[in-house]
Amino acid sequence: MSRDSLHLLASALCEDSRPMPNGAFAAWFDDRARQHRFVIEPVPFDRLERWRFDPRTGGLSHESGRFFSVDGLRVRQESPRPGEWDQPILHQPEIGILGFLVKRIDGVLHFLAQAKMEPGNINYIQISPTVQATRSNYMRIHQGRSPHYLEYFLDRSRGRVLVDSLQSEQGSRFFRKLNRNIVVETTEEVAVREDFCWLTLGQILRLLRQDNVVNMDARTVLSCIPLDADEASGAGDAEHCVARIERAAGLETGRLARPTSELEAALMDTLTRPVDSPAYAADLRWLAGRRFLAAQTVEPVRPRDMRGWQVTDSVIRHEQGRMFEVIGVRVEASNREVPAWYQPIVRPLSVGLMTYFLRVRQGRAELLVQAKLEPGNADVLEIGPTVQCFPQDENPDDPPAYLAEALDPSFGRCWVDTLQSEEGGRFFRENNHNRIVQVDPDWADPPDENCRWISIHHLKHMVLHSHLLNVEARCLMASLGVGAMRQAN
Amino acid sequence: MSRDSLHLLASALCEDSRPMPNGAFAAWFDDRARQHRFVIEPVPFDRLERWRFDPRTGGLSHESGRFFSVDGLRVRQESPRPGEWDQPILHQPEIGILGFLVKRIDGVLHFLAQAKMEPGNINYIQISPTVQATRSNYMRIHQGRSPHYLEYFLDRSRGRVLVDSLQSEQGSRFFRKLNRNIVVETTEEVAVREDFCWLTLGQILRLLRQDNVVNMDARTVLSCIPLDADEASGAGDAEHCVARIERAAGLETGRLARPTSELEAALMDTLTRPVDSPAYAADLRWLAGRRFLAAQTVEPVRPRDMRGWQVTDSVIRHEQGRMFEVIGVRVEASNREVPAWYQPIVRPLSVGLMTYFLRVRQGRAELLVQAKLEPGNADVLEIGPTVQCFPQDENPDDPPAYLAEALDPSFGRCWVDTLQSEEGGRFFRENNHNRIVQVDPDWADPPDENCRWISIHHLKHMVLHSHLLNVEARCLMASLGVGAMRQAN
């Protein structure tokens, strides 16, 4: 029997004995959707129960003062390009928890995933972290029940923390929002509740190849998992080695993925490489320089005073139909903490585009990233993917760097090409292209001055810190991995 | 001739040929002070020309809207310890530049230091970076001349950037202030102007052993110099090796410092070690956890409405004499961009204490740090030294962790013990104890839950990033180095 056949056999055996065999997932997931009733209907603002335009701030907010509010922002920018505009912005000052509970089952790390309904989700339910909770949720402001498994993330004695970092959300829509991205490993017996199932990292990465199955919150937590952390892997050298390759490869079996191309070999090598301090320091100097040059000020403005925007009885919208609009919805869901609620929600008006250009140079896999200035960023700008925009909103006479190439289907070799939602609790049926395109090693070198080629292992190290990679950069990075990309082309 | 004698001879020869021989510095520095006339006198607020209490915000601000303003802040804290208080806070939204111009002279990196007058400085002049400028300075809002050498920091073609990071200032007094800490290496001929001189890193570190000679701005930039950056060292392996040891050792000659104790050996080893990603990730998880637990909200309040504070015609002060007061001063200085000006300034009411406890364990040098919550921090809390407080303001019934040990002169072995000023442009004759005390390897293990032992090379890596180490932690870290600490005990 050849080594290849042995490998296939081992994988197949392994698949059968997993808590959720690959072949069984689709039926389980469809069943989850069928088990629950979801009703989402638009309602005018004056029928949004417990929400009102606050007479003091002018913003649309909940009468408890909790959850979030829709306010206005006036943005003035001198550099890199001058401009001035008003826009709605979501304030949600509480730090939310996005937490995966994990457990070794037959020696392989499994993630307790939830089939979770969010009102903005395409398909209503998507795979989410074990817990996805705002402070309002877990303080039970809405009088509902406490989210399942929350205790593992609040009580440190219940497990070992493998990932813990505070990360931003969309700086174009949220004002300085932070979430705690956390992974806790337990050795306890865990009762698997309805709507939950154990999936390996490889299985989740495989689901990421499909449109709109793995939600944004799950993607951002996955992006924070260190690939070289022997602490995270749990112990001795052999196990460490298997675990890091497993993660880098996106395999679920603990067995080695054999790279089948130069790209895969480079990816595996780069993802498991330790940080090269001088080169990493140079990456951060570039970012500091871009931050220093950026000159943008923001100040609050009452939504009804936003220039270029209309506030009607049922929508806050741009007069030229740009960016997004804010509407109100009534939501009924049989599997959430409360059976029905009202809330405002942001509805994008076009399909966005998130693209990484990737290259392999000197055996190392690098991504082309940009210093992305957005008004809601706590630190002025964060690192974004090569292209991150709504092409329909861009000025064709002055397009963002690399947009033309990103829109050209014959450009480069595409490894990842899916449609993904953003946070379904705040964004209504958002559906953005997520693409990773490999380019010639010498193309775009030197890059546009606001962009930089950064080695993937440096980006993985950056994500240990806050305010370095924006949510678009992180979520798209979650798709990187040898096995994860293998079927895309 | 023994190796030791050779070493001494080489050092001595080297000293003589340096731009500023060690023996000549004191005379030059005294001469600088004598060459200039400085007059600082307190004036009541209504005689602070061009400053007034803004009718809109209630804050004390400049009529140009530039420089900075003194506003009020209301702080509410639930965790880690509940409390509520009002206090003045300085707003200075512009990112300042703290820049050292450096150049290799006879193969050794030299720093262009400035003997700079600041109104709050003890002794009036202290050694500062080459350029220390706010945007108001370099946009010349005050109609003065542009700061010397500024062009090297604004025009990237003039040199190679070795350090570039945005770092915070005192979160207890500034609202989210950031400075660009930057080091630029030039190969051009540089005319050395009056009040400037070339010093090696070792010479500056030696001056740090004295009270109030090296200012805070110089100390924070020094703390950002990477010790393992071969990019920073400039080139090939041999030079790299010399340069990293030179920096780690605080030597000025490019020759090896020979460690004379277990501490020195551990320091040199730790300072030049590459980052250990899993252990580093664990340090950051600790910090994220502390940030998540901290619950503090701040909101602006008009200074005259601050509870517990009085605003008289010449001072803003706490009714119980706590924290600090704000006064107005008139300043005359013959060597500044403008010959005379008025400004508010913060006057501390007691002597502060900044202390690191240091230990050597398994050959590695570690510092005991705390997660320090301060209302002006952009990111809620940053890492501070073991003890950072004004002992006089502390509640004796509930003192900060480790304060008792830090105040006990017989505790541990003290390697650094100096008095240092903080930013002399904003703080009037501040004078804080700066101490580094070595403790037994097993003392305080595990530490207080808000504190953590962190390896020094991880702290050096953290300082590449923003919002991780507060200015007190950074400045005290600047004193670390084999040669720098040798004469302290």
| Min distance B283 CA to chain A CA atoms (Å) | 10
Which stretch, A247-251, B240-244, B320-324, has highest mean pLDDT? B320-324
Across the interface, do A288 and B466 touch by the CB < 8 Å criterion?
A: yes
Chain A residues closer than 8 Å to B274 by CB: 274-275, 277
Q: What is the CA radius of gyration of chain A?
A: 22
From residue B158, how far is each of B9, B103, B188, B235 by CA, in Å? 36, 12, 8, 19
Residue with more model confidence, B304 or A147? B304
SS3 label, residue B387: strand
Across the interface, do B279 and A165 touch by the CB < 8 Å criterion?
A: no
pTM: 0.91
Q: Mean pLDDT over residues A64-77, rounded?
A: 94
pLDDT digits (tens, 9 = 90+) for B186-235: 999 999 999 999 998 888 888 988 999 999 999 999 999 876 433 333 33
To test the contact with chain A by mutation, choose from B154, B287, B460, B465 the residue with the greatest count of A C-beta atoms within 10 A, namely B465
Confidence bin at A15 (pLDDT 50/70/90) = low
From residue A376, how far is each of A22, A467, B224 by CA, in Å? 40, 12, 28
Buried b (16+ CB within 10 A) or exposed e, A172-202: bbbbbbbbbbbbbbbeeebeeeebbbbbbbb
pLDDT over 70 (residue A486):
no
Per-residue confidence (pLDDT) for residue B488, from 0 to 100? 39
Q: Are A305 and A72 in contact (CB under 8 A)?
A: yes
Instruction: Supply the ipTM of this predicted assembly.
Output: 0.90
pLDDT over 60 (residue B247):
no
d(CA A298, CA A318): 19
Across the interface, do A95 and B292 touch by the CB < 8 Å criterion?
A: yes
Q: Which two tokens stand for residue B412?
A: 């541990």
Q: Please name the residues in contact with B450: beta carbons below 8 A apart, sequence gap of 6 or more.
A: B80, B290, B370, B371, B401
pLDDT over 80 (residue B110):
yes
Q: Please name the residues in contact with B415: beta carbons below 8 A apart, sequence gap of 6 or more.
A: B263, B358, B436, B437, B438, B485, B488, B489
* Angle, helices A237-249/A262-271, rounded to nearest 10 degrees: 130
Q: Are A463 and A230 in contact (CB under 8 A)?
A: no
d(CA A476, CA A419): 11
pLDDT over 70 (residue B29):
yes
Per-residue confidence (pLDDT) for residue A104, from 0 to 100? 87
Which residues in chain B are classed under CATH 3.90.79.40? 3-38+94-258, 277-296+350-478
* CATH fold for domain B3-38+94-258: Nucleoside Triphosphate Pyrophosphohydrolase (3.90.79)
Tokens 């006057």, residue? B347
B441 prior amide bond cis, ω within 30: no
For the segment(s) B277-296+350-478, the CATH number from 3.40.50.970, 3.40.50.2000, 3.90.79.40, 3.40.50.2300 is 3.90.79.40
Nearest by Cα to A195 from A117, A265, A111, A119: A117
Nearest by Cα to B62 from B303, B328, B315, B300: B328
pLDDT digits (tens, 9 = 90+) for A154-180: 888 899 998 999 999 999 999 999 999
**A180-189, A258-267, A432-441: least confident range:** A258-267
Average pLDDT, chain B: 87
Which residue from B228, B231, B277 is facing A226, i.e. has the nearest CB?
Answer: B277
Nearest by Cα to A341 from A425, A460, A439: A425
Q: Are A66 and A293 in contact (CB under 8 A)?
A: no
SS3 label, residue B376: coil
Which stretch, A106-120, A124-138, A296-310, B16-30, has highest mean pLDDT? A296-310
Across the interface, do B275 and A277 touch by the CB < 8 Å criterion?
A: yes
Across the interface, do B281 and A231 touch by the CB < 8 Å criterion?
A: yes
Q: Mean pLDDT over residues A26-51, rounded?
A: 94
Chain B residues closer than 8 Å to A231 by CB: 278-279, 281-282
Q: Mean pLDDT over residues A73-79, rounded?
A: 93
Give the residue from chain B lying closest to A180, CA to CA: B292
Average pLDDT, chain A: 87
Q: Mean pLDDT over residues B110-121, rounded?
A: 94
List residues in chain B touching A: CB distance below 8 A.
93, 95, 156, 161, 163-166, 180, 226, 228-232, 274-275, 277-282, 284-285, 288-289, 291-292, 297, 378-379, 461, 464-468
Q: Are A479 and A488 in contact (CB under 8 A)?
A: no
Confidence bin at A436 (pLDDT 50/70/90) = very high
Confidence bin at B447 (pLDDT 50/70/90) = very high
Per-residue confidence (pLDDT) for residue A295, from 0 to 100? 85
Q: Mean pLDDT over residues B340-346, rounded?
A: 96
A237 phi, psi to nearest 5 deg: -60, -45
Per-residue confidence (pLDDT) for residue A206, from 0 to 100? 84
Q: How many CB pairs under 8 A join A and B?
A: 103
| Min distance A287 CA to chain B CA atoms (Å) | 8
pLDDT over 70 (residue B381):
yes
Q: What is the CA radius of gyration of chain B?
A: 22
